[in-house]
Structure 1
Amino acid sequence: MEHTTVLLNEAVSALDIKTDGVYVDATFGRGGHSRKILEHLGQEGILVVFDKDPEAIKIAEQLALDDKRVLVVHSGFKNLVYELQRLNIKKINGILFDFGLSTPQLDQAERGFSFRFEAPLDMRMDNSQGITAKEWLNQVSEQELAQVIKVYGEERFYRKVAREIVSYRENKEIETTKELADLISRTIKVRHKGQHPATRTFQAIRIKINQELEEIKIVLPDLLNVLDSGGRLVSIAFHSLEDRIIKQFIKKNSSPEYHPKWVMIKDNGRQEMPLRIVGKPIKPSNEEVSHNYRSRSAIMRVAVHAGGVSDD
């Protein structure tokens, strides 16, 4: 299935693109947002794209061959500051995060992200490095596994799932996506109609393997230094774990009550904060959801760098 970019026009509009600005697509994916950004950039503009997925990088490099405004970085966005310094870029005018998996990642059985296919348990965004889901799952302790499923999967029956996985692997290693999904299906029942029993556990393992939430927590404070005054932060999250991190970060850096007394005070007595919230969170329209069901859980938040000081 072809990947359909979520909140395409809304996200690019939220960046408020300057024709000669420097922008970052921190999650290139299959390039939908990047191509739209390029439509608004002038010839002096620059677009830096990041991705860990080798398949995404191939597409990005082809785009860069056709458009010299594009600079490609094969890396997770946690290395944002280092990579921008390497490119001799000191400030950016906007950055976009789209935290969802791309449709090809889900639909390519060999990637091991989906329980819909029989495939090796991999789940790595960059399948050229790091530990696979199979390797981790077959050696992790029951206590740690339960904690991962609880925190990253928000699975109500986390102890039961962890216990059954550990019990099963005493006799045989868990090797494939279907093997794991069938084991979970025998262990718990669905909580919501239409949701597979393995959905939350698969999400938890994927987040753990790729350190997804940790990467977000690492990069956010760096944005306060690399975003130019007036620069935009645009994030699209697909589950509450990601969105909660973004929401709390923006609130912390835009609300005076979160800050100590030594934060800069303007003459009018108001604390000068680094961020300002732009509008309300945006969700896909009913029309978009009808054409792309996977967009249904997306939520977009926007903030602008206001030039203040952070306590991070």
Structure 2
Amino acid sequence: MDVLLERHSVHAVDGILLDLGVSSLQLDAPHRGFSFNHTGPLDMRMNARQVLNTMQVVNDSPMDVLVEIFKRYGEERFAKRIAHRIIQTRRETPIATTTQLAEIVKQAVPHGVSKIHPATRVFQALRIHINAELENLAMGLDVAIQLLKPGGCLCVIAFHSLEDRIVKHRFRTCARTASLEILTKRPILPDAVEVQHNPRARSAKLRVARKL
């Protein structure tokens, strides 16, 4: 963000909107490998020039690493069962596609324990891990706050609890040092009409702060 603005000789801005996570364009492109709703390669890289992809992590990581990824980034309570099933499967054949992995996860998780697809948290965890999303978010918030002019607003839309927690804590830390004023005591959520028109917005949380 700061590098891009520097190229255009922009050194401070009045407002910044961070719309976190994967985009609909990426989710709907099977070849990017972000969604289990389409058959595609296990990729999930935001930056296609990056070497590490999801297929490598799924097929090469030891069980304890997979469990840690699923727990830390997906808050997946069946992490051990899922990792064990992945290890068993890849001994016989490489896990190469999104739908193949989704089916493996589905078989490992007890039926009917969640309203969401059984693979949702696993795919989230792998995507966050591959792209170092939480680390990049923390750095991005710092850069955004530095770039804001006094009185400028930082708006952040998060889509899961891990992202939202980082944003909330960063805002609170800055508020304690009187560098930001939090304008949203609680996150703004989409209403029923918006969710009806855009189901992917159902988990969105908007937080806003103003630079002092």
Alignment TM class, shorter chain as reference: over 0.9
- Which residue does 1:220 correspond to in 2? 141
Shift in Å at residue 86 of structure 1?
3.4
Shift in Å at residue 110 of structure 1?
1.4
Please, which moves more after superposition, 174-183 or 137-146? 137-146
Superposition misfits of 4+ residues, deviation over 6 angstroms: none
In 1, Cα distance between the equivalents of 2:18 and 2:77? 29
In 1, Cα distance between the equivalents of 2:61 and 2:16? 36
- Which residue does 1:149 correspond to in 2? 70
Query: Is 1:185 the counterpart of 2:106 in the alignment?
Result: yes
Q: Is the 8 A contact 2:153 2:210 kept in 1?
A: yes
What are the superposed Cα offsets for residues 148-191 of structure 1, whole Å, 9 maximum, x if unpaired? 10010110011111122122212221101111111111111243
- Which residue does 2:204 correspond to in 1? 298
Query: Is 1:288 the counterpart of 2:194 in the alignment?
Result: yes
Look up the SS of the partner of 2:139 in the other structure: helix
In 1, Cα distance between the equivalents of 2:27 and 2:87? 26
1:133 to 42, 46, 54: 54
Shift in Å at residue 145 of structure 1?
1.1
Residue type matched to 2:131 in 1?
A: N
What are the superposed Cα offsets for residues 268-309 of structure 1, whole Å, 9 maximum, x if unpaired? xxxxx1000113421111111111111111110000000xxx
Higher helix share: 2
What are the superposed Cα offsets for residues 10-44 of structure 1, whole Å, 9 maximum, x if unpaired? xxxxxxxxxxxxxxxxxxxxxxxxxxxxxxxxxxx
Residue type matched to 2:113 in 1?
A: R
Look up the SS of the partner of 2:60 in the other structure: coil
Q: Counterparts in 2 of 1:160-171, with a 5 A limit?
A: 160-171=81-92
Look up the SS of the partner of 1:114 in the other structure: coil
Residue type matched to 2:58 in 1?
A: L
Shift in Å at residue 220 of structure 1?
1.6
Residue type matched to 1:287 in 2?
A: V
Structure 1's 224 and 99: CA in aligned 2 closer, same or farther, altered over 3 A? closer
Shift in Å at residue 139 of structure 1?
1.2
How many residue pairs were aligned? 210
Shift in Å at residue 134 of structure 1?
0.6
State the identity %: 42
TM-score by length of structure 1 reads 0.64
Structure 1 alignment gaps of length 5 or more: 1-79, 257-272, 307-312
Look up the SS of the partner of 1:170 in the other structure: helix
In 1, Cα distance between the equivalents of 2:181 and 2:157? 17
Q: Is the 8 A contact 2:158 2:206 kept in 1?
A: yes
Structure 2 alignment gaps of length 5 or more: none
Q: Is the 8 A contact 2:153 2:208 kept in 1?
A: yes
Shift in Å at residue 94 of structure 1?
1.1
Look up the SS of the partner of 2:10 in the other structure: coil
In 1, Cα distance between the equivalents of 2:29 and 2:146? 38
Which structure would you say has the larger Rg? 1
